[in-house]
Structure 1
């Protein structure tokens, strides 16, 4: 973008991106305009230019998560088996397209959530409005799709007189099921995560205790809800599933790693450092992950779609293997053996199987072999490229394999509602997440808990209010409420660690899928409202703010429950990136 605005070829513009102070999607596309403005100012004046948006200007001028208004129809058998689902998603795109054309397909891909539905029709319609263009946000259209299908499940459960969780459990996807977009699921873990989460929470005992509480309390009512997750991992635009890495081993044995990944607090640099260290067989402190720079790794893709480690980490490992192969070949020649009998372990060169000396130390360290290789003119640098394999999708036939794999999980949330005030508190949350072989368990657990908190804020608090002429009224943290420590429930997180052969180091992505867990908070409050007024009409208007709760309690409408085909509407699925764009600095040759 900067090169195009300045009228320069891309090799004349160097962009360096240091660690960002949060992003969640808001800096994927909308930072480009500010970078281009700063670069243009620098070119015209011949001086460095820094452009900074304060919080209010940032919230007024940059995009948020897309609001959706959706209509749905769901058809079921009397036993609760879902046979058909139809939804129309009206996406408020704002005044310009931004990333809207890419976001709405992901909504359609996730229209069925974690459920196997044999007959599906999902339609997405982008709507131009007088608002600032909406943009990427954690989940990239997936959460909006999830909210609609979960709303349909809740509506259907009420019509059938079933426990919504029973209905969910009955219709989960399984291995070898074919999705509505034609992909056959491998190693589906939806049922395992849901049943483990129900056991972790003590679902049946919990349901009974909540029913008993509600039967004896008039003012306060408790609610309970669980949400399963099945989230596809890959960019849905095929060409974006690629990345490169450049690795230098210095002759003292220290290692420099450059990739196209941008660190923004999600821990991608830590994971790439760990992958590099483990592949080499040396301590992590010997690795330095460089800032992302267009002159070291060119043609990079956004660090998005939860693929930062999958793509860039895999590229780094491929580059390491090249250098390591040269080092082991050199060491084998030095020791008069074969390279398959040697490996680096904790920074030392060791004999390994099939050698009859397996487990013995060769007497050389990694640093010593590197120095000797350097003196023998062995190349200690390597570039590698990784492209996610086996992806394809025919947009005309709407059929293919758009994702490398899926992440599964389940969250159960309880809430206590004050029917007099309309306020509520989330009490406890239980999460079982399909993490596979975690590269950095501390980082991944933080991502799970943080994404859940952000999803809970989206579901319950974060309401964007606009004036009739399109001005954002909720433009500061005093008028736009975000989650804090007092808002969050007590959390119990359990990890499902079955290895995943479709990603680097048998791991799974963790950035976006846990966001959907927060939707359980909305339905926990809805369950409490249903306990307060069992005959009232359910409403699906996210976020579930106390104002909406109080208005609902003030005007209960009696609704008959006699049909099996259920139609409904969901509205209000928008959100602002709480940290995105909070600090935006740009200069010629600097960070956008």
Structure 2
């Protein structure tokens, strides 16, 4: 290099962006929505009822429950093998540990040692064979948390190792599927469509979708104690499913459910991870509490929580898609598999929702979908925000993008050509009503100036070799309701006191989403009183029976809760108002308190149980047709990458689960390597997009839910896939400079390593060959 020249003068101008310093600008964001009030409170933007307590650290969670002097701490004795026979257990080291009080195994369970939310296919304590690393074999209780953990580590177990299945591919080859989990959906005739010439082009491929850790801020925690000489069992738990805790504990202790009470004040996040798996830990703690007649608290450390409590299901989709030269999709033949782990848990329901959403928002005349739930030797995977829907839609958007590459068109053009509309019939037989996809998409396209953004990205990419921009617009349609009809019920209890205040109890759980605030707004507006006059204390199984149930399982998602529990509360309020009406009509009361007092004098019942069932839904898997959803929430997102957004962003771009198998020789087989924040990357403040604008479509009220409530907890999660496809758009620009314009697979998450190895340049060429696919643990 000529010493008289600066570095900038010696480097081609297209390379200079690679050495430009990065400065993160201030975040610019906006929210745009209509405020439509109903009564005194509904529709008003209100402060979260627990906000002040939470920001000051005064809000109480399960582990904050004071321990009595005779209380004990529990720690788990866990399997260290993915699949093995237990030959012997030596607990002498634990018994000689400081503070040790007791240790319990399968033979000590007073009731039934088998558990499960749908089928009893899981042992509370493994008795003869372990089927994953981290499976619970026993529980130790001691005087302190640390002493309990020390004692648990001192239990020595001898194993006979057995063959382990550690991927979806292994499960398919071994035909390792959970029993009775094959599902099919059909529309039209796929074979005839492929063979008749209706399709100008037919493509086949695979989509690998990785898992995701829930990473709630509060780990699994339960505090269990007995009353009345051990005849009653009470607990405080961090759970989305209090009634599930009640049922599990009653089951393993051999008690009637009427003698077991579970209470939940609030939880520090759940995202589905505390629907079913949390009940396992409550049941484990209940055994020593019941046998010793002493309080027992179990709180998992973060690494243990991540290792044993299950994650979002990884998926494998094998597709065959036929389409015209214009880009119209004519037929989809899809095989879809999820990694359930070592028990069924909710994996079949997760698979079913993935199958329901495998078309995303696209009109396809001929569809055939086969779904299977894979048994593997991993901890049982479970519900996670979106419940399989995002995985099914991500598979769909992959083949949409591939069609675009095959035809030399933009993915957005292919999406628009295939949009469903009002009156469309899904592949499971449901007719779309109040479909807002087109106006929503068009509004976003204008507001983000998409065409101009695309042109600017192309110009930038032509002038920059080592930094690329990518843009993408992605739509979503998320069905709102539980796909099992009996789950669509909710209950509430409302008391009006003579001072004019109202106490509300309902079956939903406050997990930070503001459910209690919204439900309190419903009650306040119903009685025409201030929000401050309504109080919601906690969720408790002895106060409200009709929690949302799934074979006696309450599943309390962030999306449907306002619709259902709000409606149940309104039902109770309307009953009380009807009783109060004769008194109110005879007098001109100056306040609600005066009216309540007058009703009390007249012996009017000021307490009511409200109930709600979601109407006009039902699905028959025998024929593969029905109306599984009450309504759909539509959405669309635009992303221009270099940065993007939050939990969904983590799923598609950051959070990679690393499990030990043949491809990861530095990790013991079946062990989770990424079991803490040091090795598992969740989105942080720096991952918030520089511009983050959110708008709710105006002029389209939801006529199918209370006060136009619309579920927006789970539906927007998938919109972060716009980030994934913008990343892929940028990679395509980089590959084009080396003469590679063909379609290529990119598994999710699109980690920096996977992105870099997909770019095909002089640096990656020595390490890869055509068709290279960076290893993904599924």
Q: 1:382 & 1:571 partners in 2: Cα distance?
A: 57
Aligned match of 1:478: 678
SS in 1 for 2:469: strand
Aligned match of 1:95: 342
CA offsets, 1:541-572, max 9 Å, x none? 0000000111222247779xxxxxxxxx9995
1:543 aligns with 2:749: yes
CA contact (8 A) 2:332 2:366 kept: yes
Aligned match of 2:576: 323
SS in 1 for 2:643: strand
Tell me the CA shift for residue 87 of structure 1.
1.5
Aligned match of 1:385: 611
CA contact (8 A) 1:68 1:573 kept: no
Aligned match of 2:150: none
Q: 2:777 & 2:511 partners in 1: Cα distance?
A: 25
Aligned match of 2:525: 278
CA offsets, 1:423-462, max 9 Å, x none? xx316xxxxxxxxxxxxxxxxxxxxxxxx51101100000
Aligned match of 1:306: 559
CA contact (8 A) 2:472 2:726 kept: yes
Q: 1:69 & 1:478 partners in 2: Cα distance?
A: 28
CA contact (8 A) 1:68 1:572 kept: no
Compared with structure 1, are the counterparts of its residues 290 and 470 closer, same or farther at alpha carbon in structure 2 (3 Å cutoff)?
same
Compared with structure 1, are the counterparts of its residues 363 and 300 closer, same or farther at alpha carbon in structure 2 (3 Å cutoff)?
closer
Q: 2:417 & 2:777 partners in 1: Cα distance?
A: 27
> Quick one: which of 646, 669, 681 aligns to 1:453?
646
CA offsets, 1:53-102, max 9 Å, x none? 01011011110000112111221111111111121112111111111111
Tell me the CA shift for residue 414 of structure 1.
0.6
Tell me the CA shift for residue 328 of structure 1.
2.2
CA offsets, 1:513-567, max 9 Å, x none? 00001111111010001011132542130000000111222247779xxxxxxxx
Compared with structure 1, are the counterparts of its residues 557 and 406 closer, same or farther at alpha carbon in structure 2 (3 Å cutoff)?
farther
Aligned match of 1:529: 731
CA contact (8 A) 2:448 2:638 kept: yes
> Quick one: which of 280, 286, 290 aligns to 1:39?
286
User: RMSD in angstroms over aligned alpha carbons?
Assistant: 1.8
Aligned match of 1:492: 693
> Structure 2 matches for 1:358-397, cutoff 5 A?
362=588, 364-397=590-623
1:501 aligns with 2:718: no
1:463 aligns with 2:659: no
Aligned match of 2:461: 214
Q: 1:513 & 1:570 partners in 2: Cα distance?
A: 29
CA contact (8 A) 1:94 1:134 kept: yes
> Structure 2 matches for 1:163-174, cutoff 5 A?
163-174=410-421
CA contact (8 A) 1:258 1:292 kept: yes
Tell me the CA shift for residue 290 of structure 1.
2.4
What is the TM-score of this pair, normalised by structure 1?
Answer: 0.83
> Structure 2 matches for 1:105-504, cutoff 5 A?
105-301=352-548, 302-304=555-557, 306-332=559-585, 334-335=586-587, 362=588, 364-415=590-641, 425-426=642-643, 453-468=646-661, 469-489=669-689, 490-497=691-698, 498-504=700-706
Q: 1:296 & 1:271 partners in 2: Cα distance?
A: 19
Tell me the CA shift for residue 281 of structure 1.
1.1
SS in 2 for 1:226: strand
CA contact (8 A) 1:190 1:408 kept: yes
Q: 1:87 & 1:479 partners in 2: Cα distance?
A: 34
Compared with structure 1, are the counterparts of its residues 142 and 572 closer, same or farther at alpha carbon in structure 2 (3 Å cutoff)?
farther
Q: Displaced runs of 4+ in structure 1, greater than 4 A?
A: 555-559, 569-574
CA contact (8 A) 1:412 1:520 kept: yes
Compared with structure 1, are the counterparts of its residues 120 and 252 closer, same or farther at alpha carbon in structure 2 (3 Å cutoff)?
same
SS in 2 for 1:383: strand
Q: 2:484 & 2:558 partners in 1: Cα distance?
A: 11
What is the TM-score of this pair, normalised by structure 2?
Answer: 0.64
Q: 2:774 & 2:684 partners in 1: Cα distance?
A: 26
CA contact (8 A) 1:404 1:502 kept: yes
CA contact (8 A) 1:148 1:570 kept: no
Q: 1:93 & 1:202 partners in 2: Cα distance?
A: 42
Q: 2:701 & 2:630 partners in 1: Cα distance?
A: 14
CA offsets, 1:32-61, max 9 Å, x none? 110001111110110000001010110111
CA contact (8 A) 1:69 1:571 kept: no
CA contact (8 A) 2:489 2:546 kept: no
Q: How many residue pairs end up in the alignment? A: 506
Tell me the CA shift for residue 171 of structure 1.
1.1
Compared with structure 1, are the counterparts of its residues 220 and 229 closer, same or farther at alpha carbon in structure 2 (3 Å cutoff)?
same
Higher RCO structure (Cα 8 Å, ≥6 apart): 1
CA contact (8 A) 2:402 2:743 kept: no
CA contact (8 A) 2:519 2:569 kept: yes
CA contact (8 A) 1:331 1:369 kept: yes
CA offsets, 1:134-170, max 9 Å, x none? 1100000001101100000000000011110111112
CA offsets, 1:241-299, max 9 Å, x none? 00111000001000000110011111111110111111111110000112111111114
Q: 2:632 & 2:262 partners in 1: Cα distance?
A: 33
Compared with structure 1, are the counterparts of its residues 169 and 557 closer, same or farther at alpha carbon in structure 2 (3 Å cutoff)?
farther
SS in 2 for 1:15: strand
Structure 1, unmatched stretches of 5+, are 336-361, 416-424, 428-451, 560-568, 575-592
Aligned match of 2:108: none
Q: 2:354 & 2:774 partners in 1: Cα distance?
A: 14
Q: 2:261 & 2:687 partners in 1: Cα distance?
A: 43
SS in 1 for 2:687: coil
Q: 1:522 & 1:573 partners in 2: Cα distance?
A: 18
CA offsets, 1:96-131, max 9 Å, x none? 111111110000000100111111111111111111
